[in-house]
Structure 1
């Protein structure tokens, strides 16, 4: 039963400061790509067919860009601001491809805190093993609101 159960939420807007940073490292394995492709029913040959990809400028299969974005959104949901947060807007580019088995580093930095509109802006840069930029952009996030007590209004009429 979830009702009344204590839930861990992330940091509220007043607990977040401009300049805060987070760094996440992920290694992309075959199982990750297969799970993504199975979930989305995406059969783009550039993602899985070595023979096709070898005939393109990419030379070998690439990781789906939306899967890379999944690592970004997961980091926001888990760490900065954390559970209970919601992405409102994103402006992301993928300047260089990521190939299978890559280890990527995602660097996040809080660049804005708008208390009036309950928004935090987070800059994101991602790098591959060669230090090439693979993700660049910014995201507006609504940090978690403090949960209201389910009994807070119970005794209003007494």
Structure 2
């Protein structure tokens, strides 16, 4: 049987926003809504995608040299890296090797067991408090 995959945008650990308590939040890609006020537009497409922050780019050319498909070129006059989407096969070597974090990978395919294994790493944070509270109550 083929394993079911979803596209995880990011896993946010020790989130304390939107209410009381500590939690791990899994942000998924593939939102069908197109809200004008969307704070996470990189979550809308369901496939992993490449993002580029020209203000972080130092034009070192490492991504251009490492791209196995030759999908990236340097534009000196505009001071940015240009991607040819027809050549890019979304291997994300450029994102993994960018020393300035100018190229990012938004999303990755993960199976349910893989996701559970990843968030299970945070288990100690969720159950430790309950154990401590029980110990405190027993000592009173």
TM-score calculated relative to the size of structure 2: 0.30
Higher helix share: 2
Pair member with larger Rg: 2
